[in-house]
Amino acid sequence: MDLNNITQEEFENIEAYLNHSLSKDDLLIFENRLQKEEGFASKVDDIKTILSGIETQALKEQLDKFHDEMPSTVKDTDVFEPKVKYLQWRKIAVAAALIIAAGSFWFLNRNSNEQLYAEFYSPDPGLPTTMSSTDNYEFYEAMVAYKQGHYEDALNTWTNQLKTKVGNDTLIYFVGSALLADKKESEAISYLKEVTNNDDSVFKNDAFYYLGLAYLKEGNIEQAKTNLEKSGSENSEALLSKITD
C-alpha cells in the first residue's frame, strides 16, 4: 500500500465518495476519473481498506466495552463467543491496528511535508513592472495582477500570449508560477518541467526549486528531492535537509 502518492485533497475526496456525500456534479467527475485515470482506482481501494480497518477497530472497542459492562452474574458462556470466533476477532483487531498505524504514519508524514511546503513556499516575486507602457503592455499588466494575487487574471493573459509565442520560457515559467500560487500544483508541474528542460532559460534554477516544492506538496518525495538537488539554491539545500521520506 503506497500512500505517499495520495494527496490530502484526494484522500478527503475519496472518503467523501465512499461515504456517498459527494454532490451530483462531483460524483460525475469522480467516476469519470475512476474510469480514465490510471492508478486512481488503486488509490480508492487503499483508502477504502484504511477506513474499513478503522471501522473494524472501532467496532471491536465497542464490543469490548459492552463485555466489560455486562453484569458479573451473567455466565461466561452467555457473554463470550466460542474460542474460534474470539481468535478471528483478534486477527481482525491486529489487522486493523496495522492499517491504522500505516494511516497514522501517512498523516504524520503528509502533515510534516505540507508544513515544510508552507514554510519554504512563497510565490515568485515576479518581474519589475516599471517598464514603458508601450513595451509589452499586456504582459506587464498581467504581472501586476499576479503580484496582487489575481492569479486567474494573469493566467488568462499569459496563456493567451503563449498561443502566439510558443516556447517562450518567460511566459511558460510565470504560467507555472501562477498555477502553483493558485494551488494548482498538478497543472504547474508540466510548465515548470518545460522550463527546467531549457538550458538557455534564466529561470531554470528557480523552476527546479518550485518544481521540487510542487512535488513535495503532492507527496512525491523522490521527485521533490531530485528537482531540489538540481536547483542548488540555499533554500533548496535547507529544505532537503528537512524532508522526511
Q: What is the pLDDT along the chain (245 residues), one digit of tens a residue?
A: 555 567 778 888 888 898 888 898 889 999 999 999 888 888 888 788 777 765 555 555 555 555 555 554 444 444 445 544 445 545 555 555 555 555 544 454 555 778 889 899 999 999 987 654 445 889 999 999 999 999 999 999 999 999 999 999 999 999 999 999 999 999 999 999 999 999 999 999 999 999 999 999 988 999 999 999 999 888 999 999 988 65
State how far the Cα of 207 lies from the Cα of 67, in Å rounded to an integer.
Answer: 60
Q: Are 189 and 200 in contact (CB under 8 A)?
A: no
Check residue 78 and give its pLDDT: 47
State how far the Cα of 47 lies from the Cα of 53, in Å rounded to an integer.
Answer: 10
* 3-state DSSP of the chain: CCCCCCCHHHHHHHHHHHCCCCCHHHHHHHHHHHHHCCCHHHHHHHHHHHHHHHHHHHHHHHHHHHHHHCCCCCCHHHHCCCHHHHHHHHHHHHHHHHHHHHHHHHHHHHHHHHHHHHHHCCCCCCCCCCCCCCCCHHHHHHHHHHHCCCHHHHHHHHHHHHCCCCCCHHHHHHHHHHHHHCCCHHHHHHHHHHHHCCCCCCCHHHHHHHHHHHHHHHCCHHHHHHHHHHHCCHHHHHHHCCCCC
Residues 6+ apart with CB under 8 A from 142: 153, 154, 156, 157, 158
What domains sit in the chain, N to C, each tagged with a CATH number? 8-120 (no CATH), 137-240 (1.25.40.10)
Check residue 89 and give its pLDDT: 46
Q: What is the pTM of this model?
A: 0.57
Grid cell in block for residue 7: 494527496
Check residue 186 and give its pLDDT: 93
State how far the Cα of 5 lies from the Cα of 89, in Å rounded to an integer.
Answer: 31
**Cα distances (angstroms) measured from residue 113 to each of 50, 207, 233:** 21, 19, 19
